Amino acid sequence: MITLRKYLKQSATYKFFTQFGIIFADFLDTLGKITQMGLHVAKCVLKGEIEPKELILQCERFGISSLPITLSIVGMTSMIVASQVALEMVKQGGSGLIGLLMTMLIVREVGAIMSGFALTSMIGSSLASELATMRVTEQIDAIDVLSVDSVSYLFVPRVLSGLIMMPVVVVIASIVGVIVGAVTSDIFAGLTYRAYFDSAWLGLYMKDLGVCLLKAATFGATIALISCSCGYFASGGAKGVGLATNKAVVWSFIAIVVLDMVFAILFFF
């Protein structure tokens, strides 16, 4: 019996399920912590515990400092799509639909999702490593000992700045994306700007713009909440900071894709 148990413990199946159990437990633990922090932030916001000075600083960080990289990523994605689509559409006689296709694609998906990825890698990782460093150097403990609510102080301005600034970033990035699409279509397929912009507005409705802004705000708040939570619950030294940052980026990427799917099902099916 003992031999059988020992044999089972060494088997690949046992190891697989053990590892799976550990990963699943960690997943539930992280999800629980993010939810707990989200509820705490909501409570603080409802009570009006917002520090305007800190909020402005975080908005500047979330919006202005991230703009160059976000615009570059959305612009380049738009260029890649337009360069491949425009020529083929012209060949197939669909040149009148290039503007429509590009605008729909950028406003409904590319603008928000690529900005989300850009902001995760630039701002999310920085939020997670900042809070994780504060945790491992006992700065968060110091905030708590001074009887200041560390979640309210650290999370509220960061999550609100994501909620406020991400729609602004996505709108600017989408405008840049549409313009880059027009320029690329002209270069690669000889499509005039007039032909591009004449069709650009045909498939665009107010609902698209509304969903785009709502999605952007949700992405922004989610990226900030996940990143702050991963950093806040970090432990250990430099390795702990690295793990927290890594976790924040992975979780934010997955959350963006899952939320995007939810938005698509809710609003476009």
Partner 1 sequence: MSIEVKNLVKAFDEKTVIDDISFKVNDGEILAIVGFSGSGKSTVLKLICGLIPYDSGEIITSEGDIAMVFQYSALFDSLDVEDNISFALHERKELRKKFTEKEIKEIVAEKLELVGLKGIESKFPSELSGGMQKRVSFARAIVTNPNTILYDEPTAGLDPMSSTLIEDYIVSLKHEINAASIVVTHQMSTITRTADRVIMLYDGKIVFEGTPEELLKQETPYTKQFVTASLEGPMQMQA
Asked if residues 197 and 124 have their Cβ atoms less than 8 Å apart, the reply is no
Q: Which long-range contacts (CB under 8 A, 24 or more apart) does 87-95 make?
A: 87/188, 87/189, 89/189, 90/189, 90/190, 90/191, 95/189, 95/191, 95/195
**Among positions 40, 83, 153, 179, the unique one binding partner 1 when judged by CB under 8 A:** 153
CB of 52 or CB of 93, closer to partner 1: 52
> What is the smallest separation between the CB atom of 231 and partner 1, expressed in angstroms?
14
> What is the smallest separation between the CB atom of 131 and partner 1, expressed in angstroms?
12
Is residue 238 a contact point for partner 1 (CB under 8 A)?
A: no
Helix (H) or strand (E) holding 201: none
Q: Which range binds partner 1 by CB under 8 A, 81-89, 110-118, 131-139, 164-172?
A: 131-139
**Among positions 55, 69, 143, 172, the unique one binding partner 1 when judged by CB under 8 A:** 143
Is residue 29 a contact point for partner 1 (CB under 8 A)?
A: no
H helices present in 47-124, as ranges = 52-59, 67-91, 98-105, 111-119
> What is the smallest separation between the CB atom of 208 and partner 1, expressed in angstroms?
40
**Among positions 60, 88, 138, 198, the unique one binding partner 1 when judged by CB under 8 A:** 138
Distances in Å between the alpha carbon of 4 and those of 13, 15, 17, 184, 201? 14, 15, 17, 66, 69
Residues in Cβ contact with 197 at an 8 Å cutoff, skipping those fewer than 6 apart = 99, 182
Q: Contacts with partner 1: how many residues (CB under 8 A)?
A: 14
**Among positions 23, 56, 80, 145, the unique one binding partner 1 when judged by CB under 8 A:** 145
Q: Which range binds partner 1 by CB under 8 A, 18-26, 97-105, 111-119, 139-147?
A: 139-147
- Report the 10 Å Cβ neighbour count for 211: 19
Instruction: Note the residues at the interface with partner 1 (CB under 8 A).
Output: 51, 134, 137-139, 141-148, 153
